[in-house]
Amino acid sequence: MADESTTVVTRAPILSPALRAKILELTPRYPNKRAVTLPALHLVLEHLRCVPLQAMAEIAEVLEITPAEVHDTMSFYGFFPQAPIGDVRVWICRSLSCMLRGGDELLDHARGHLGIEPGETTPDGAITLEFAECLGVCDFAPAAVADDGRVFGPLDERKVEEMMAELKRGRKDPAS
């Protein structure tokens, strides 16, 4: 009978060689490899649409730091989901300027319109809905920002629905 205590589980790497190379290409711009952790997390999120535990460990390996150090950075920001997010992630602001102009109600409207809660993704994988504290675009309150850089606002219920229809058509062309 096999001795289970000696079983070694090897997993295929999550980070492709090209992605590992991209992370390493960042290192000359920073004072040390640890300082590359945050931009590396952004790169991985952009490519995988999430940062699972194995990716965290692989980032640590590439940067020659511990997985705990990567986890510390990741959990501090609360920005990096471990499960895949939708094609487009959108944050609706509920901080003061937006709240005073109906941000909470618009978030409720978006939840009802999409049939999902903040932090969830539509069943077709198109949109992940989030709420956010100030997005830095208070001039557009009540506002929302997509993770491809699009800013929406001032929003009302009709514009929230138009925004969702636009987001369902996919990410903004990076060249535009």
User: Least distance from C-beta 92 to ligand FES, angstroms?
Assistant: 9
Catalog residues that contact ligand FES under the rule CB under 6 A.
93, 95-98, 134-135, 137-138, 141, 143
User: Least distance from C-beta 162 to ligand FES, angstroms?
Assistant: 19
Q: Residue 56 or 143: which CB sits closer to ligand FES?
A: 143
Query: How far is residue 167's CA from residue 165's CA, in Å, rounded to a whole number?
Result: 5
Q: Residue 45 or 93: which CB sits closer to ligand FES?
A: 93
Report the 10 Å Cβ neighbour count for 56. Answer: 24
**If you count them, how many residues does the chain have?**
176
Rg (CA), the chain: 19
What the block records as the tokens of 158 is: 């009709």
Q: Residue 54 or 97: which CB sits closer to ligand FES?
A: 97
User: Least distance from C-beta 102 to ligand FES, angstroms?
Assistant: 11
In sequence order, what are the residues at sequence separation of 6 or more whose Cβ sits closer than 8 angstroms to the Cβ of residue 77?
38, 41
